[in-house]
Structure 1
Amino acid sequence: MKREHMPAKFDLRLRVFSEEPAFGKGVAQLMRLVAQKGSLSAAYKEMGMAASKAWKIVRRAEADLGFPLMESVSGGKSGGFSQLTPEGEDLLKRYEEFQEEVYKAARQSFVKHFGNHDTIEKNL
């Protein structure tokens, strides 16, 4: 196969779970933004996600994993906030490290099988 006909990109979908594939890139991104912004609302708005979808994917992951990923306190005089639980922080850290290792290995394998392309895309 000629070089110009070789694929130049790849994509992986990486999820971790107990029974149902419920924790992946979307939930991890949402959690990362909650940790940065202190607000689930700000996180899903930045992602362009509906509140109902944000809660649905978080609750589905929590149900599958068996522990809460984040906790929220409703507004009031001092305003509300959201934060990751200690278990949620640990899971996010482990997932991101696992994800980076898998993508590194996949990039190396892609180059081995399809050649060294300057445009190899890492879709995190």
Structure 2
Amino acid sequence: NLEGYKPASDSFFFLGLLKLLDKDIDFSIIREPYLKELKNIELSNGFRNESITETARILLSLVLLDLNDKELNVIPELLNFLNQNITMFKNEDKINEFDWKNDKIAFKVELRMLFWLLLAFSQYT
């Protein structure tokens, strides 16, 4: 049953757990299949349907796999996607009912998104 399966998040947590269990783990055997799966995700939705959180976790997974080389074509595209969507945290013109200023749940959701976004940016500066 793949209901609720999110390849980017699930892969990130799986890789992170393995890294926690063994800091010297060799991910070389996983790199190629991960990049292939990443291209499948890219082809299916062009990353446009991915969320900020999912995109940030893709970038963090690339760091865990030592694939954070700027030459990898997908990285600038993912960083650009995050840069384009960071305006939602700065733009106060579009305040609606489900906004961090008006709703505690929205505050929690936006805070989590911002956490993952900043964590990903911290690895690529």
* Shorter-normalised TM range: 0.3 to 0.5
Which is strand-richer, 1 or 2? Answer: 1
What TM-score does the superposition give when structure 1 sets the normalisation length? 0.34
Which is helix-richer, 1 or 2? Answer: 2
What TM-score does the superposition give when structure 2 sets the normalisation length? 0.34
